[in-house]
Amino acid sequence: FFFSSTAAVGRAQVKQDPSTETSEGTEISINCSHPNIQAGDYIYWYRQLLGRAPELLVRGIKDTKALSDPPGRLSVAADRRSNALWLGQPRREDAAVYYCAVGD
């Protein structure tokens, strides 16, 4: 099944993988770059399931932050110019559009 991703573009010029495919239970990582991130900016990941409004999955500034549903983590690069959303055992119901955004 597919994981689509769309960048929320702003002053940080966010870019991310256009789409990724995996099978149920096989880990997946969606990458996002934001070279112009500011010192106080947070990194956000949203998920939009088919026919539903986007929901916030995780928000972070640096290092690694765990996700509980779906199980995974947000990993932010040391220079904060990129990050990755990692899902450890995605299920079919996790197939959605994933949005990376940067802001305060």
Indicate the domain borders of the chain. Answer: 24-103
According to the model, what pLDDT value does residue 9 have? Answer: 47
Are the C-beta atoms of residues 4 and 98 closer than 8 Å to each other?
yes
What does DSSP assign to residue 92?
G
Q: Which two tokens stand for residue 80?
A: 């904060």
Q: Which two tokens stand for residue 99?
A: 């949005």
Minimal CA–CA distance to 26: which of 89, 73, 91, 93?
89
CATH 2.60.40.10 fits 24-103, yes or no: yes
Encode pLDDT of 56-68 as tens digits. 999 999 999 999 8
Q: Which residues pair with 4 in a beta bridge?
A: 19, 97
Encode pLDDT of 7-41 as tens digits. 554 555 677 776 777 888 889 999 999 998 999 99
Strands 97-103 and 2-7: parallel
pLDDT above 70 as % of the chain? 86
Tell me the average pLDDT of the chain: 85
